Structure 1
Amino acid sequence: MPMKVLDATLSTFQGVFEKFTSEAANNKANLILFLADKDPSTNLSWCPDCVRAEPVIYKKLEASSDNVALLRAYVGDRPTWRNPHHPLRSDSTFKLTGVPTLISWEDGAIKGRLEDHEAHLERKIDTLLSDD
């Protein structure tokens, strides 16, 4: 399936997000996945929920026959993310409370979202994708 993946860090997020939204009309589904950074010593996320959800999300997206764009946005290391003034926690659009968070983006707005406690559930991912 034609899946386009863009990666963004906290410092590059705004520019990558603008590119993502400018190309959004070309895709059947536009998804943003907010993740915790990977620990360089293990190459796994420091967030156990991210480690659990990522493979399930990727499997579902790769199985889709639609054009899907995925923006993976890394929120930082644990101390950065835990800061209550983290830019994505206070962002008026995303209002993140946890990672991973999977968002369906359509027409310049959030159409649906799966929070950290449900982002690994296949049926919820299916519902999010079918709403597009």
Structure 2
Amino acid sequence: MTVLKVDATLADFSAHFDRLIASPAAASDGKLKLLLFLADREPGSSLTWCPDCNVAEPVIYERLEALQGRDAVLLRAYVGDKPTWRDPAHPWREDPKFGIKGVPTLIRWENGGAAARLGDEEAHLKDKVDALLGVGGN
């Protein structure tokens, strides 16, 4: 099992999304497609400005390691700094494909849309992440 992790910002997200998730070739490659919307990392730190993201990220990565026999693509989309994210007109808040209300948000993408989603209140719960990923809990 291999997990390809790709980081994206508002500026380059569309190109990564189209290539890795939405293109016909990507859609038919059999890989699990995941989008993880996160707060930007603090300068000089491995942590984000969002406490919920800092709790959920290790859980999500640990559960991804439990995937057996299935390759995955994880597109990590960084929403920006606090003022950028707090703007009600943030592009990912307004985009009906994503409709992000909070960070972190983990989405399993299938057949051209969101097949499952965990918002900021659930993305740190192992059993919920396992269910989204389609793996058995430990």
Aligned pairs (5 A) from 1:78-117: 78-117=82-121
Which whole-Å CA distance do the structure 2 matches of 1:128 and 1:85 have between them? 28
1:40-79: CA deviation from partner (whole Å, max 9, x where unpaired): 0433100000000000000100221111111100000000
Which whole-Å CA distance do the structure 2 matches of 1:47 and 1:111 have between them? 25
Percentage of pairs with the same residue: 53
Instruction: Compare the two structures and name the one with the higher strand fraction.
Output: 1
Q: Classify the secondary structure of the residue corresponding to 2:132.
A: helix
Runs of 4+ residues over 2 Å off in structure 1: none
TM-score normalised to structure 1 length: 0.94
Query: Which residue of structure 1 aligns with residue 33 of structure 2?
Result: 30
Which whole-Å CA distance do the structure 2 matches of 1:72 and 1:29 have between them? 14
TM-score normalised to structure 2 length: 0.90
Q: Is the 8 A contact 1:33 1:70 kept in 2?
A: yes
Q: Which amino acid aligns with 1:114?
A: L
RMSD: 1.3
Q: Is the 8 A contact 1:104 1:110 kept in 2?
A: yes
Residue 6 of structure 1: how far off its partner (Å): 1.4
Q: Which amino acid aligns with 1:9?
A: T
Which whole-Å CA distance do the structure 2 matches of 1:7 and 1:58 have between them? 14
Task: Choose the corresponding residue for 1:72, options 76, 98, 122.
Answer: 76
Q: Which amino acid aligns with 1:6?
A: V
Aligned residues: 131
Unaligned ranges ≥5, structure 2? none
* 1:39 lines up with 2:52 in the alignment: no
Which whole-Å CA distance do the structure 1 matches of 2:15 and 2:120 have between them? 25
Residue 7 of structure 1: how far off its partner (Å): 1.1
1:54-109: CA deviation from partner (whole Å, max 9, x where unpaired): 00000100221111111100000000000010000000110110000000000111
Which whole-Å CA distance do the structure 1 matches of 2:32 and 2:44 have between them? 34
Query: Which residue of structure 2 aligns with residue 15 of structure 1?
Result: 15
